[in-house]
Amino acid sequence: MAYTIAFFGTKPYDESSFNDKNKEFGFEIRYYKGHLNKNNVLLTQGVDAVCIFVNDVADAEVIRIMAENGVKLLALRCAGFNNVDLNAAATAGITVVRVPAYSPYAVAEYTVALMLSLNRKIPRASWRTKDGNFSLHGLMGFDMHGKTAGIIGTGKIAKILIHILKGFGMNVLAYDLYPDYNFAREEQIVYTSLDELYHSSDIISLHCPLTEETKYLINDYSISKMKDGVMIINTGRGQLIHTNALIEGLKNKKIGSAGLDVYEEESEYFYEDQSDRIIDDDVLARLLSFNNVIVTSHQAFFTREAMENIAITTLQNIKDFINHKPLLNEVKR
């Protein structure tokens, strides 16, 4: 009998990617469109493993019910795991694995795309020309060459981003709890304090994990330390930024622009077509009203190569678990 996996929060592109790679593994996969939560966790009955994405909920109650249903493995097809109660999983005897890196190039390149789009007002220019308006008023940007980028977190994605930004001729300040000084010497960047990074950066880009220490890292106090007109980019996790503080900074012109591929309450909206609904999240609606803000739907990872890597790594994680092999991508409390 084939090993059975229940996939939650799936889209057609997930099914296409996983069905293609599953030809090499032979698992029985059941796809469900809805996000895993306490209301649909009963669908985990009769399956061996559960696979989830960033907006699924695997809290203590959901994990308890999954364990009662006989689930032994929770496979995340993403890098982040802040939506999983790891203590509950350990207590219930459910192993948790993830995909630590699917395509750092995809996210790094998308981060640069947000920077350029905001700086050179490309969305506004495109809207204007479609309406027959070819004026340049209000579209002035700045040379990125010679400016300073502050990068918070210097993992794989950030290192690729830094390499790209150095190609623009930018100065780079970095902050990380565990600095990689060899990398810093190679790329000629400077590790510094958060205060100095805030004070000196023209562009700040967030690439750190979401933890208790980094939650709302960008807040009223940290924004007050930044340069006037700073650009803030977040392709990491939504709760790295206190959104109301960001909005206040945009209103008083302290923040010149913001590029957000994530949002702290995104699970109600992202990855779904909401075009026939009124957005009743007042904070998100306010963000979308700024012409110097770009909000996209958590798509920085979304390249052909990344989807292939996600599928292969997820299915290999599951195969290694079945065969009692060392789990290189296990997440422990």
Residues acting as catalytic residues:
237, 266, 298
Q: Where are the alpha helices (DSSP H) in the chain?
A: 12-22, 60-68, 86-92, 104-119, 122-130, 156-167, 181-187, 194-200, 220-224, 243-251, 282-289, 304-322
Q: Provide the β-strand partners of residue 76.
A: 52
Let me know: does 145 contact 172? Beta carbons within 8 Å: no
CA separation (Å) from 329 to 286, 297, 300, 311? Answer: 39, 26, 22, 14
Q: What is the DSSP string of 143-166?
A: --TT-EEEEE--SHHHHHHHHHHH
Torsions phi, psi for 101 (to 5 deg) = -155, 125
246-268 core/surface letters (b: 16 or more CB in 10 A; e: else): bbebbeeebbbbbbbbbbbebbe
H-run or E-run covering 269: none
